[in-house]
């Protein structure tokens, strides 16, 4: 296996020593061992991804570690205490160090743990990002959610909603740029958070995009963001002006194609509103990601499929199916119980919905538990 990797085209240079192989793909490096263990490092020498004894881990910039299981059958989980994973990775590097022909990462467990507080000098905790934007640089142009009332969403509960003033936004972008360092290499554009950043008034948003162009000119040509359909108060001309400033994709939390289900979820949106939002965005040449929840019953599945069929989607767009996460005993659990859909299996319905939504746009799974900012 190591001899195959030695010739892998993705590496600029490789070094074989003892039972190890080091692959360099600047600014990134990967350290492999014959045992099958491997650790990938970012350009700052921090580990990013590791496979140890057949278990795969991802380290988030915020210091969290995700144990990745890689499929819908078993959920990825956050490692309760990342210290032991850092310890194993540091020990792995220390075993390789004496015979390594080039300097290896010198990050200690303590330094890796301290990254959590350093991250918080640049960012607020980063909520969620859709799967095709996991490689974007997150920029927090707003904080919290102006509505905060959807029964299935606890992302911003108790947080004050505010638009970040432009001077504060510039300082945030500069701190994020410094924190990410060489990790800006190979990124897929920017993701503008948090909830509904695109609902900001048009003049504020245009200036915010200008700030991004000044601070991160390459990445600012490809900007994506969330927008709730009930918050689309922009004309096609205004959306086209945002498109001209780099807005390339908007993710709409449709949740359901059934108005009664939207009411049950206490989402103040309608199917007609969602359709109008997609029409306006597509007319402005902005691609869309439309997100549906799974686990809400057959009426919801049929209505969502009918809605998707009626939307002007094409191969640039994506439809996401996101299994509903229900906290036992919570308000959503009680609301579902009252509708007689308390026992639905969200994972099973995700498969049904996935098939029902097939059309011109790609359909993909979106499990919010898989997200970690890396």
Q: Write out the residues near ligand SF4 by the rule CB under 6 A.
A: 145, 147-150, 153, 155-156, 195, 228, 253
Cα pseudo-dihedral 195, 200, 205, 207, rounded to 10: -120
Measured CA to CA, the distance from residue 356 to residue 256 in angstroms comes to: 13
The DSSP bridge partners found for residue 142 are 163
**Nearest distance from residue 359's CB to ligand SF4, in Å?**
24
Measured CA to CA, the distance from residue 356 to residue 366 in angstroms comes to: 16
Which C-beta is closer to ligand SF4: that of 150 or that of 208? 150
**Nearest distance from residue 224's CB to ligand SF4, in Å?**
16
CB atoms within 10 A of CB 70: 9
**Nearest distance from residue 226's CB to ligand SF4, in Å?**
7
For the chain, the distance separating the N- and C-terminal CA atoms, rounded to the nearest angstrom, is: 27
CB atoms within 10 A of CB 253: 24
**Nearest distance from residue 274's CB to ligand SF4, in Å?**
13
Which C-beta is closer to ligand SF4: that of 148 or that of 202? 148
Measured CA to CA, the distance from residue 68 to residue 91 in angstroms comes to: 21
Measured CA to CA, the distance from residue 60 to residue 372 in angstroms comes to: 6
Which C-beta is closer to ligand SF4: that of 153 or that of 209? 153
**Nearest distance from residue 72's CB to ligand SF4, in Å?**
22
Measured CA to CA, the distance from residue 215 to residue 211 in angstroms comes to: 6
Which C-beta is closer to ligand SF4: that of 113 or that of 155? 155
Which C-beta is closer to ligand SF4: that of 220 or that of 291? 291
Q: Residue 6: enclosing H or E segment and its boundaries?
A: helix 2-6
Measured CA to CA, the distance from residue 180 to residue 61 in angstroms comes to: 8
**Nearest distance from residue 256's CB to ligand SF4, in Å?**
12
Which C-beta is closer to ligand SF4: that of 92 or that of 251? 251
Separation in Å, CA 5 to CA 8, 12, 43, 103: 5, 12, 20, 20
Measured CA to CA, the distance from residue 325 to residue 293 in angstroms comes to: 9
Residue whose C-alpha is closest to residue 245's, from 190, 282, 290, 288: 190
- Give the list of residues 6+ apart from residue 258 with CB closer than 8 angstroms, or none: 271, 296, 299, 300, 303, 304
**Nearest distance from residue 148's CB to ligand SF4, in Å?**
5
Which C-beta is closer to ligand SF4: that of 205 or that of 240? 205
Which C-beta is closer to ligand SF4: that of 155 or that of 283? 155
**Nearest distance from residue 167's CB to ligand SF4, in Å?**
26
């Amino acid at each position: 296996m190591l001899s195959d990797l030695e010739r892998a085209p993705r590496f600029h240079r490789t070094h074989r020593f003892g039972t190890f192989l080091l692959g360099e793909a600047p600014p990134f490096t990967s350290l492999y061992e014959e045992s099958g263990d491997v650790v990938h490092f970012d350009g700052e020498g921090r580990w990013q991804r590791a496979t140890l004894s057949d278990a795969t881990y991802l380290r988030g910039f915020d210091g969290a570690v995700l144990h990745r299981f890689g499929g819908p059958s078993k959920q990825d989980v956050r490692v309760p205490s990342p210290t032991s994973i850092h310890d194993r990775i540091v020990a792995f590097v220390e075993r390789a160090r004496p015979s390594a022909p080039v300097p290896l990462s010198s990050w200690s467990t303590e330094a890796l743990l301290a990254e959590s507080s350093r991250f918080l000098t640049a960012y607020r905790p980063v909520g969620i990002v859709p799967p095709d934007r996991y490689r974007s640089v997150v920029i927090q142009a707003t904080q919290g959610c102006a509505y905060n009332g959807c029964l299935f969403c606890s992302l911003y509960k108790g947080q004050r909603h505010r638009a970040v003033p432009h001077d504060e936004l510039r300082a945030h972008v500069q701190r994020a740029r410094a924190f990410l360092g060489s990790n800006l290499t190979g990124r897929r554009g920017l993701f503008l958070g948090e909830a509904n950043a695109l609902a900001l008034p048009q003049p504020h948003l245009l200036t915010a995009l200008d700030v991004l162009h000044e601070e991160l000119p390459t990445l600012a040509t490809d900007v994506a963001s969330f927008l709730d359909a009930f918050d689309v108060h922009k004309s096609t001309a205004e959306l086209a002006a945002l498109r001209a400033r780099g807005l390339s994709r908007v993710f709409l939390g449709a949740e359901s194609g059934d108005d009664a289900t939207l009411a049950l979820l206490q989402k103040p949106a309608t199917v007609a509103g969602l359709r109008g939002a997609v029409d306006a965005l597509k007319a402005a040449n902005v691609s869309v990601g439309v997100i549906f929840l799974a686990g809400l019953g057959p009426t919801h599945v049929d209505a969502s499929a009918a809605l998707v069929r009626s939307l002007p989607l094409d191969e640039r767009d994506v439809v996401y199916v996101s299994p509903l996460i229900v906290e036992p005993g919570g308000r959503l659990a009680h609301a579902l119980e009252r509708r007689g859909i308390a026992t639905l299996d969200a994972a099973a319905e995700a498969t049904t919905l996935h098939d029902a939504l097939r059309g011109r746009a790609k359909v993909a799974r979106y499990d919010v538990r898989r997200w970690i900012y890396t």
